[in-house]
Amino acid sequence: MKKRSFTDLFFLLFVVYIVLPVAATMLYAFADKWNKTILPEGLTLKWVMTLFQDPAFIQAFGRSVLLAGGAVIVALFVIVPAIFVIVLYFPKYEKWIQATVVMVYSFPGIILAVGLIRVYSKFGISMILVVLGAYVIGILPYIYQGTRNSLRNVDARQLLDAAQLLGASKMQAFTRILLPTVYPGLFAGALLSFSVLFGEFVLINLVVGSRFETVQIYLMKKLSTSGHIASAVVFVYIVLMGILTFIAAKVTKKTKGATNV
């Protein structure tokens, strides 16, 4: 029993440490005056209201959604077919995709940024497209994981063969049978990818800079000018991430339940 309470203490430490900064920032976003006291002197909506009346923020938000969402959509159209083809028809080459996944996952943005700038800055092409391309590759691990897990759950190859045996065309088997089964995993992977890219700062800051102000760059600027506005930005960011994580978790749970039946 003694041992149990000892590890529980660590668990408590873990949770408090993880929750405290998030909670404090949320509170700060609604704090009226908070300069001399331990707790805010009053609560107000004015910081969040001010934020949503700032066209610069709205635009930054739009840019972030466009960039992260665009990368996820491109990834779905480019990466997913490639994973399907490899897993279903050339399983012996799957180790190459796995190696790429590990490399992409372990190479930090700061190293990739050096190479991207070196290669593309002199061609005169839009560096935003370069970042978009890097984002598409950057989320490969999440998309791969989401797709692969679902494919493994259903034994996709046999499913396809069975459908074709029963008279479905290849196209029908693919869109009616296979796609619906991997859809939830794919959807969760896409949401996770989106939230990872929404929080990305290194590549966009180093490769493009403030010419394309995303939410992260907007936040970076506000850090030195207004703490309250910055906390309102972080509040919006956390809420958005929370919603995405929640939906992803629900969807994943549902698929698990479905395949267990």
Residue 221 CB coordination number (10 Å): 16
Question: What is the rounded distance in angstroms from the CA atom of residue 179 to the CA atom of residue 152?
Answer: 13
Asked if 241 is part of the footprint of other proteins (rule: CB under 8 A), the reply reads yes
Would you call 31 helix, strand, or coil by DSSP? strand
Q: How far is the CB of 9 from other proteins (least distance, A)?
A: 8
**Cβ 81 to other proteins shortest distance, Å:** 5
- Contact residue for other proteins among 58, 110, 125, 258 (CB under 8 A): 110
70 binds other proteins (CB under 8 A): no
| 3-class state of residue 168 by DSSP | coil
- Which residues are CB-neighbours of 186 under 8 A, at least 6 positions away? 76, 80, 143, 146, 147, 150
14 makes contact with other proteins (CB under 8 A): yes
125 contacts other proteins (rule: CB under 8 A): no
52-60, 83-91, 147-155, 176-184 -> range binding other proteins (CB under 8 A): 83-91
**Which one of residues 106, 158, 225, 260 is an interface residue with other proteins (CB under 8 A)?**
106
Contact 76, 186 (CB under 8 A): yes
- Shortest Å distance, C-beta 125 to other proteins: 11
Question: Please, what is the minimum distance in Å from the beta carbon of residue 62 to other proteins?
Answer: 18
Q: Which stretch binds other proteins (CB under 8 A): 41-49, 61-69, 151-159, 224-232?
A: 224-232
Tell the smallest beta-carbon distance from residue 55 to other proteins (Å). 21
188 binds other proteins (CB under 8 A): no
DSSP string, 62-80: HHHHHHHHHHHHHHHHHHH
Give backbone dihedrals phi and psi of 195, rounded to 5 degrees, phi first: -70, -35
130 sits near other proteins (criterion: CB under 8 A): yes
Alpha carbon dihedral 248, 254, 258, 261, in 10-degree steps, equals: 140
Give the contact letters, 147-186, x = binds to other proteins (CB under 8 A), - = no: ----------------------------------------
Separation CA 116–CA 84 (nearest Å): 29
Residue whose C-alpha is closest to residue 135's, from 190, 67, 220: 67
The burial of 37, by beta-carbon neighbours within 10 Å (0-12 exposed, 13-18 middle, 19 or more buried), is given as: exposed
Interaction between residue 4 and other proteins (CB under 8 A): yes
Q: Which residue in the set 56, 114, 125, 162 belongs to the binding site for other proteins (CB under 8 A)? A: 114
Name the segment binding other proteins (CB under 8 A); options: 21-29, 43-51, 61-69, 175-183: 21-29
In Å, the largest CA–CA distance within the chain is 75
